[in-house]
Chains A and B, each alone.
Chain A
Amino acid sequence: MMDRRDFIKTVFFLGTATAFAGPDYLFNKKSVIHIFHTNDVHSHIEPFPLTDKRFPGMGGYAKRQTMLKEFRKKYGNILLFDAGDVFQGTPYFNYYEGKLDYQLMSKLGYNAATLGNHDFDNGTDKLAEAMKYANFSVVSSNLNITHPILRKKVKPYEIYVRKGRKIGVFGLTVDFKGLVTEDNHKGVEYVDPVSVSKKMVEFLKKEKGCDIVICLSHLGISAYKTDIGDVELAEQVSGIDVIIGGHSHTFLDGGLNVVSKDGWNTLITQVGFAGVWLGHIVIDFDNVSKNKNILAGKYKV
């Protein structure tokens, strides 16, 4: 438990952050942008049973929606992202093949999600079928896609404007090797994420004029059984403000700050799995100095 002083400090900080969230950002010194995120929900449609040892009564789309509705009321036009592996984990996926998951994410107002390895568990045709129920963007930049439907649906990046600031979002999918069988990723090939990320950052910042760059990554927090993870990516690629991670099911206490070889600060966040926590990122953008203060936290669902 926290002591009283910490509590007051935090409430004060959140309070000031909200005070700047007014619509008159043009005349305001600051733009405060609120982002919420999940990862590796793994078809946990309903909360865990109360008898569960690790997450009694936690998670579920219905509770997450209640929280999101409150946050939308409080912060206005928020952004909501998922870092992949929406599918696989409960019989809901075995019976409805991801259609219910994507339908619920649409209902909750997700803006974008990237693709994880388990999203390919039924093959690319079934994935394309499920995507008919997704009215949010599916973003992955390091996939070479020849599959006719996925080619149209999966985008390399997406740009959002909030409080007058441009937020560029790109996505990364983990190497299929050893995780997705060849016939399950038919028509989709993995491309090295480092070179792609460098290009995406350059493109989003220089050509599209983005003020903030966010990466939805399903690489895992660090290179474990793979060549690259979020930490290695942040060390090698400068210019990403926040990496919203997944795949490794890591329960981070807020975030991890990684400084790249050029001295760029990237915040890495990840909220475990199954949707038992809802991640929250507050980007406090100074419109005059262009400096950013980034606050990351999470809420128990």
Chain B
Amino acid sequence: MKKVLMLCVLLLIFVSCVSKPETVYKKQQGTKFQWYHSDVSKEIPEDKEVVELIKPYKEQLYKEMNRVIGYAEVDLVRGKPESTLGNFVADVIFDTAKHFDKDVDCAITNSGGLRAPIYKGEIRVKDAFNLMPFQNRIVILRFSGKDFLELIREIVENNGEPVSNLTITVNDGLIDAYVDGKQVEDYKTYKVATIDYLYKGGGSMPAMQRGELVKDTRVLLREAIIEYIKKHKNINEKIEGRIVLQ
């Protein structure tokens, strides 16, 4: 053990790997720059005091992250045009937004933002963190029927994105979209729940930026997912034809 420590110290003292020594020299300034970089190896021992300081926080956090909050009755996995994981997250957004505005018509999010699946079995807090590591918030936007249809066209172009309370079918290149079983009309307005990331132009649904911000719920999507699982306990999602392409 002591030998390893000594070796590490030696490694620290003697720069073990140096690359690209360069010098820039400017006479009138008298300033000379040089640089190097050193790879001291990953064998550096951890400082005991710091490890002790972190320990109680770490233990509490790991306990919290491993807390079981519900049960997945099926594998929740990502996929196109429709997926169990996508349906689940879109339902969470729709359900949460409903608490803030009863008139919300549907929810849309992006498949690319769902970072990890939840497999059949116990669901832990850490699963929600892995699924949604970002600080995305749920927002409610209002669209003209025309812009909403453009958004739906983009969803089709993307080969489908997670939606809730909205069905999209494509037949012979013609798009049919329904909210609550009623066909989407270009003269109506629609309230769509989504995440701030898409509203700000992230993802690949630029039409999302055409929405008018009606409500920033300030609820983190991850928090909403955790609350939804706690409330429903058993999560069951199936492919039910929300998006049918051809």
Contacts and interface: CB of A to CB of B under 8 A. Distances in A.
A98 to B, nearest CB: 12
Interface in B39-57: 39-42, 44-47, 49-51, 53-54, 57
B170 interface: no
Given A69-B47, A294-B32, A96 B57 contact: yes
B33 A296 contact: yes
Q: Which of B14, B21, B58 has the most CB of A within 10 A?
A: B21
Given A11-B15, A292-B30, A257 B61 contact: no
B36 interface: yes
Contact of A293 (B9, B28, B31, B44): B31
A124 to B, nearest CB: 15
A60 B26 CA distance: 38
Contacts of B135: 88, 121
Given A10-B21, A63-B44, A100-B54, A74 B13 contact: yes
Contact of A300 (B24, B40, B58): B40
A297 interface: yes
Contacts of B60: 95
Interface of A: 1-2, 6-7, 9-11, 13-14, 45-46, 56-58, 60-63, 65-67, 69-70, 74, 88, 91-92, 94-96, 100, 103-104, 107-108, 121, 178, 181, 241, 253-255, 257, 259, 263-265, 267, 286, 289-301
A66 to B, nearest CB: 5
A253 B20 contact: yes
A104 B58 contact: no
Interface string B41-84: 11011110111011001101100110000000000000000000
Given A88-B135, A91-B129, A107 B53 contact: yes
B164 to A, nearest CB: 25
Contact of A259 (B26, B38, B41, B129): B26
Interface in B86-109: none
B148 to A, nearest CB: 25
Given A107-B53, A121-B135, A296-B35, A67 B40 contact: yes
Interface of B: 8-9, 12-15, 17-22, 24, 26, 28-42, 44-47, 49-51, 53-54, 57-58, 60-61, 64-65, 126, 129, 135, 200, 216
A107 B29 contact: no
A254 B50 contact: no
Contacts of B40: 67, 299-301
Given A254-B37, A263-B28, 20 more contacts: A2-B17, A6-B18, A9-B21, A56-B42, A61-B54, A62-B50, A62-B51, A66-B45, A88-B135, A104-B54, A254-B22, A267-B33, A292-B30, A293-B33, A294-B34, A296-B34, A297-B35, A297-B37, A298-B37, A300-B39
A45 B13 contact: no
Contacts of B31: 241, 265, 291-294
Nearest to B5: A66
Contact of B36 (A62, A91, A295): A295
Nearest to A10: B18
Contacts, number: 146
Contact of A65 (B30, B34, B49): B49
B28 to A, nearest CB: 7
Nearest to A283: B31
A257 B32 CA distance: 10
A254 B34 CA distance: 8
Q: Is chain A's binding surface mostly helix, strand, loop or mixed?
A: mixed
A74 B14 CA distance: 12
Contact of A62 (B14, B19, B29, B46): B46
A6 B19 CA distance: 8
A300 B34 CA distance: 18
Given A10-B18, A103-B53, A294-B31, A70 B38 contact: no
> Which 8 residue pairs spanning A and B have beta carbons closest together?
A254-B35, A291-B30, A62-B46, A65-B47, A62-B50, A293-B32, A297-B36, A57-B42
19 contacts: A2-B18, A46-B58, A66-B44, A88-B135, A95-B61, A254-B34, A254-B37, A255-B35, A257-B24, A265-B24, A286-B30, A292-B32, A293-B32, A294-B31, A295-B33, A297-B36, A297-B37, A298-B38, A300-B39
Nearest to A71: B12
Contacts of A103: 53
Contacts of B54: 45-46, 61-62, 100, 104
A91 B57 CA distance: 11
Nearest to A178: B200
Q: Which of A10, A60, A301 has the most CB of B within 10 A?
A: A10
A108 B46 CA distance: 13
Contact of A295 (B28, B34, B61, B216): B34
